[in-house]
Amino acid sequence: MPHFRSAEAFLELQAQNLPLQFYLSTVDGLGDLFEDEVLPTPIPMRIGLSNVTLHLVEDRPPANATSPGKLPVDLAIPSLVVARDRSGLFSLQSAGESDEKFILRNQSNLQGCGIFERPV
């Protein structure tokens, strides 16, 4: 069965003010959805993220039965642009407001994610 691609395809996505939480077993399983036996032609894209927070919870059993488990990972993305060109090369760029303004504006949402803890 032939695969047809538009030579002019371009994907643009904007996400802002988005709190996300994922279980790592789910994230790990998402890889199966993107596996394919045919190498696809890269589609150029631009993904803009603004005020996005990500909370990753490890819900898989630890490799060592005596391990106390892992702590969740919190990630704050004040502003980021992810772009891919026609050759498939990805690039990451900071965009928008400064990190300091983002932290001050979102202080209550970011409590406990390590940003405000000072080294001893």
73-117 pLDDT, tens per residue? 999 999 999 999 988 899 999 876 555 665 566 565 555 554 444
Position 4 in a domain: no
Position 16 in a domain: yes
Could you list the residue range(s) of the whole structural domain that residue 55 is in? 11-31+40-61+68-110
CA 61 to chain centre: 23
Task: Classify the C-alpha dihedral 29-31-32-33 as positive or negative.
Answer: positive
**Residue that the structure tokens 């790592």 belong to:** 24
- The pLDDT score that the predictor gives to residue 21 is 94
Position 84 in a domain: yes
Distance separating alpha carbons of residues 59 and 100, to the nearest angstrom: 32
Distance separating alpha carbons of residues 16 and 20, to the nearest angstrom: 11
Position 118 in a domain: no
Position 116 in a domain: no
- What strands, in cross-sheet order, belong to the sheet with 73-84? 11-23, 45-57, 73-84, 90-94
Position 53 in a domain: yes
What's the whole-number mean pLDDT along residues 33-45? 80
- How many domains, the chain? 1
Position 117 in a domain: no
- The pLDDT score that the predictor gives to residue 68 is 78
Q: For the chain, what is the mean pLDDT? A: 79
Position 94 in a domain: yes
Beta bridge partners of 49: 15, 80
